[in-house]
Amino acid sequence: MSTNSIVLQTESFCDIHDIKEAKSYIRPYVRHTPLIQSMFLSNNVTGGNVFLKLENMQFTGSFKFRGALNKILHLTDEQKEKGIITASAGNHAQGLALTGKLLDIKTTVIMPNEAPIAKQEATRGYGAEVILEGDTFNDSRLYMEQMAKETGKTIVHPYDDSEVMAGQGTIGLEILDSIWNVDTVVLPVGGGGLISGVATALKSFNPNIHIIGVQSENVHGMATSIEAGKITSQFTDHTIADGTEVTIPGDKTFEVVDKLVDEFILVSEEEISSAMRHLMQRTKIVTEGAGALPTAALISGKIDPCYLKDKNIVALVSGGNVDLTRVSDIIDHLLKPADTNEGVVG
């Protein structure tokens, strides 16, 4: 498939020109996050060159700030005056809340009842009104849509929005700035906004870059939908990767993912927890469950070695907003007897 054909197939939603524009819009506000090599994942796990893109070091501790900011910068003055509203498990909420604070826009966030306390408090700390409603993100989304109709507030969707996707796609441009000859990119997936934007950016440059989406075995609405060939709900149980706990993917993101993402890997809760421990112990990176999904996929052995051995690989650490109680549990686990290599850094 040619590069031009990829751009044309996705341009009704988000294309490379939108992503480059987003980069110019958000550059004054966002961090160009580090890309570091993990010697452990390179030498001990994959036999390739594995680099971690550290979006846990982005403002608000997550990539979500990029998309929320790009969307709001495109709103009219009238829309900004009426205020903005969203539904989010936490990271998009914080990104939107910080943007609202920076641009002096009243922000309302609907969060599921099980949203991590740390994310609730951080969102309020940025000045947003937080309303808890529903057991799942989809419940919160439905309530958000009802409230938006009643108040006239503009919905800033966490993933199914062209300008949000374009904002997240700027990560792809940063990856290419650092490693133009990247072979494989591994990304966490919830509703699909992140992987849609990043895949569009990467495959517009090189259609042969292998894009892998990773989801929890407990919640993988996007993977189920791609396999079924239509948007399908999927939920087995809550996941430690709460930032990706989206049972039904977006209409726009589904179409982009179906065209551009090469495969999906599903990982267990234990594999996610193990990845969080490895990232903390080996590379000194504190990540939330969603941010550990790509590392979990690499460690699990479920990715075909042909996409790993002797390849340049980027795994995205999408966020670091994890409750301290969960970090404490991980530390307790690390203090138990483990393999002899557990203390190796890198």
Q: Which has the closest alpha carbon to 172: 328, 22, 13? A: 22
CA–CA distance, 178 with 93 (Å, rounded to integer): 29
Bridge partner residues of 50 (DSSP): 313
Helix axes 64-73, 16-26, angle to 10 degrees: 90
| 191 neighbors 136 (Cβ within 8 angstroms) | no
Q: Which residues are catalytic?
A: 64, 318
| 287 neighbors 319 (Cβ within 8 angstroms) | yes
Which residue carries 């408090």 as its tokens? Answer: 121
Strand pairing class (129-132; 210-216): unpaired
Which residue carries 């989304």 as its tokens? Answer: 141
Instruction: Residue 182: count other Cβ atoms within 10 Å of its Cβ.
Output: 22
Q: How many residues does the chain have?
A: 346
* H or E segment and range at residue 19: helix 16-26
Burial (CB count within 10 angstroms: exposed 0-12, middle 13-18, buried 19+), residue 149: exposed
* H or E segment and range at residue 216: strand 210-216
